[in-house]
Amino acid sequence: MSPLEKLFTVEDIAQMTSLTTRTIRNYLKDGSLVGRKIGGQWRFTEEDIKNFMSRDAVITHFKDVAIQSIYDFIDGVNTDVKGKLQICNIIDLYTSYEKAVAKNNQICDIVNKEIKGMDIQYDVTIDGKEEDEEVKIRFVLYGPPSFLMKVYPLLED
């Protein structure tokens, strides 16, 4: 680990994944998520998070959450944005694995900058493996138009 490498907290991962801090701690306890304690608090590198997010059980969980959130949007269940304009987009992009990961990282950066004070939800799945010629990356994005307008240009090749 480089001394300049960004470290993430349990709260950071919870915010990135829409999981509770309790769930993150359960993943730590069962070994699905690996990190290190620094000053008595858990810290995680980007590599730790990528390894966690690539586990089959975690991928299945996120797919289930994404599907349920789409149904909730259609059914009008999302009440915490009452009275505000919110858009739900499902975007499938077919590209190389490397480009899919790069696009995901770019969008994650925007989400992490914008999420405070905004009603944003972001789900992503990559169907395929690194050795595949082409993979499908699916983005499910919820948020105000201003957020989505920052994301759309990143989807271009």
Closest CA to 124 of 59, 51, 33, 49: 59
Q: Sketch out the chain's domains with CATH numbers.
A: 1-53 (1.10.1660.10), 65-157 (3.30.300.330)
Tell me, yes or no, if the pTM score tops 0.75.
no
pLDDT tens digits for range 87-130: 888 889 999 988 888 888 888 878 777 766 566 677 777 888 88
Q: How far apart are CA 81 and CA 3, in angstroms?
A: 40
Q: How far apart are CA 61 and CA 144, in angstroms?
A: 25
CB 73 within 8 A of CB 88: yes
